[in-house]
Amino acid sequence: MVSAPMDATTLETLVSAAVAAPSMHNTQPWRFRLVPATLTLEIHAAPEHSLPAEDPHGRAVHVAAGAALFNLRLAVAHFGWTPVHRVLPDPDRPGLLATVRVTSLHARRIQPQAHLYERIWRRHSSRFPFSAKTPPTAVLRELVEAAHGEGAALDLPSTPRINRLLRITAEAEQRTRLDAARATESRRLVIQPGARATGIGVPASAMGPQDAFEHLPMRDFAARRYVAQLPSRPFESVPTIAVLRTAHDRRTDWIRSGQALQHVLLLATAHGLSSSLLHQAMEWPDLRTELCPAEHARSYPQMLIRLGYGPEGAAAPRMPAMRFLR
């Protein structure tokens, strides 16, 4: 069947859905191009939005692009087409991270993930304390299966191992704050109240408090060396942390883990869970290695995902969709 041509409004909605994905420090390091002849949407890296100090190899850019790719797949299906995606499709164009070809209308076939489309607009990072209630085992199992379906593993560690992961993350957080280049890079992307709107960066209001007990090392984007411990509602004492990991650590694995991450986050949102990410230890190679227990020594952690019941989190800004189109 020949695909219907895509009008400008549909294209804008598709790109808006893609860019609602998470990206490190909300840099939105992607650009899109529609190839009309084949109805293919291309996702390109935007090097001007990379983080050279904190993400020198572009791993986080690929993870974000993978998350955007997952949203784009959902959105294409939402409009009734079948998305056919490829990751790193052209070795001669390394900046082309993925493509989604829009193929035939799928004639009302029920898409198993259709219910996730609406969650694209509801998911926000929530860096606020969660309640003590833990997510049901059945829901966590669904998240594990979702990650598996995208080619990644999602571990649900025991409390002693979670405590160890948090100690390693705290060490990474401390190092980042003391590293002048990284701290400057992160600080520049904090949006202070009343600042000129650029559509990029993390609003100070979305940063949330720091854990007064220093158990949950939430990222301090302002990278203050000594954090004033504001009295806050305590963070959950036994957090639910899932570890997303892949068997290899190539560019395809980074993009794959981004797709798995977004699938997990949207499914968690659909189940009424809030989430935030703890990525600090991924940014220090020695600490990243320490995150994996002996039985998984030959696999690569890509993200720590904190899950629980709490505030939905505030929406971080995005640039207007059409500005991402080349």
Ligand X SMILES: Cc1cc2nc3c(=O)[nH]c(=O)nc-3n(C[C@H](O)[C@H](O)[C@H](O)COP(=O)(O)O)c2cc1C
Binding site for ligand X (CB under 6 A): 22-26, 60, 63-64, 124-125, 127, 202, 219, 276-280, 313, 316
* CB of residue 92 to ligand X, shortest distance in Å: 26
* Closest alpha carbon to 102 in 121, 78, 132, 122: 78
Q: Considering beta carbons, is residue 20 or 102 the nearer one to ligand X?
A: 20
* Closest alpha carbon to 74 in 36, 35, 111: 111
Q: Considering beta carbons, is residue 39 or 301 the nearer one to ligand X?
A: 301
* CB of residue 129 to ligand X, shortest distance in Å: 14
Q: Considering beta carbons, is residue 82 or 176 the nearer one to ligand X?
A: 176
* CB of residue 270 to ligand X, shortest distance in Å: 16
Q: Considering beta carbons, is residue 82 or 201 the nearer one to ligand X?
A: 201
Tokens of 100: 């989604």
Q: Considering beta carbons, is residue 11 or 189 the nearer one to ligand X?
A: 189
Q: Which amino acid is at 72?
A: L
Tokens of 153: 């593993």
Q: Considering beta carbons, is residue 129 or 313 the nearer one to ligand X?
A: 313
* CB of residue 10 to ligand X, shortest distance in Å: 22
Cα–Cα distance between 34 and 189 in angstroms, integer?
A: 29
Which residue of the chain is nearest ligand X when measured via CB? 22
Buried b / exposed e along 209-248 (16+ C-beta atoms within 10 A): bbbeeebbbbbbbbbeeebeeeeeeebbeebbbbbbbbee
* CB of residue 275 to ligand X, shortest distance in Å: 9
Name beta bridge partners: 84. 101
* CB of residue 317 to ligand X, shortest distance in Å: 9
Enclosing H/E stretch for 30: strand 30-35
Tell me the helices (H) and strands (E) count for the chain, helix number first: 7, 10
